[in-house]
């Protein structure tokens, strides 16, 4: 599982980076293409401008293909039952946690907590947060995961550990690409997770105390009834 989780973390970042790069390159390419076209119309060295145009078209084609790839990974927004999704995630992570003698416990589980979202991406977020919590935990401690509804129409998913916590300056770096304090960490999990929550109009807040533990709290708008 460890390997799989790391792999999917990397993949989703690469997907996002590729889409970002493709998007950025498109505009200068279009401008370049316009100038070359103009040069050809003015008969400025037809032979060379033809080659340049052909090459620009080739680049465009490659970009198109990348954009297609990124599109496949685009979100589908369905009705998602949060406590169901969190339970599925816990099942996945329990074996991983027990390897380090850490128990994952269900906290409050408000039923019928419906949101609109991409369940695969959200699952990835919860996997990231729980994996981090387990990795920060000391042997024999517990990680608690809860799903609650607020009166204001939000769902709150909390992942709480009794681990080593974070210093003030580390807290500020959370979500920066490649920020990791682990020997074999990617430093990408939180960046991807924060992005996914942002794309769901949600919010992530973190409170942490060194040597006491950390709470990651994800707030998502509920489907109004
Ligand atoms: P990685 O897990 O590969 O290091 P992440 O983006 O998932 O990358 O996390 C970045 C860093 O944030 C971690 O290396 C760790 O220092 C810190 N961190 C994340 N979650 C926790 C947590 N629950 N407790 C303590 N530190 C954490
Ligand atoms: Mg991580």
Say which ligand is closest to the CA of 13.
1
Task: Show the tokens assigned to 43.
Answer: 């008969």
Instruction: Answer for the pair 188, 9: CB distance below 8 angstroms, yes or no.
Output: yes
CB 72 within 8 A of CB 112: no
Q: Which ligand has the nearest atom to the CA of 208?
A: 1
Does the C-beta of 82 come closer than 6 Å to ligand 1?
Answer: no
pLDDT digits (tens, 9 = 90+) for 43-53: 878 888 888 88
Q: What residues in the chain have per-residue pLDDT under 70?
A: 1-11, 15-16, 19, 65-74, 225
pLDDT in tens, 57-111: 878 877 776 666 555 556 788 999 999 999 999 988 998 899 899 999 999 888 8
Measured in residues, the chain has a length of: 225
Is there an atom of ligand 1 within 6 Å of 185 CB? Answer: yes
Name every residue whose Cβ is closer than 8 Å to that of residue 219 and which is 6 or more positions away in sequence. Answer: 150, 154, 155, 156, 202, 203, 204, 205
CB distance 166 to ligand 1 below 6 Å: yes
| DSSP 3-state percent helix, strand, coil across the chain (nearest 5) | 50, 20, 25
């Amino acid at each position: 599982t460890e390997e799989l989780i790391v792999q999917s973390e990397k993949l989703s970042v690469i997907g996002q980076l590729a889409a970002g790069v493709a998007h950025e390159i498109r505009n200068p390419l279009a401008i370049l293409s316009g100038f070359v076209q103009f040069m050809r119309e003015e008969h400025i060295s037809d032979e060379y401008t033809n080659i340049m145009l052909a090459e620009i078209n080739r680049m465009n084609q490659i970009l198109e293909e990348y954009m297609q790839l990124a599109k496949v990974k685009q979100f589908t927004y369905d009705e998602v039952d949060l406590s169901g999704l969190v339970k599925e995630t816990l099942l996945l992570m329990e074996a991983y946690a027990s390897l380090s003698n850490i128990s994952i416990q269900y906290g409050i589980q408000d039923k019928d907590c419906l949101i609109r979202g991409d369940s695969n991406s959200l699952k990835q977020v919860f996997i990231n947060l729980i994996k981090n919590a387990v990795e920060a935990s000391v042997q024999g401690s517990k990680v608690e995961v809860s799903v609650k509804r607020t009166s204001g129409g939000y769902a709150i998913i909390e992942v709480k550990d009794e681990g080593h916590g974070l210093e003030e300056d580390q807290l500020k770096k959370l979500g920066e690409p490649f920020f990791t304090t682990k020997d074999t960490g990617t430093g990408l999990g939180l960046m991807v997770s924060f992005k996914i929550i942002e794309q769901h109009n949600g919010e992530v807040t973190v409170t942490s105390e060194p040597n006491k533990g950390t709470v990651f709290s994800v707030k998502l708008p509920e489907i109004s009834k």
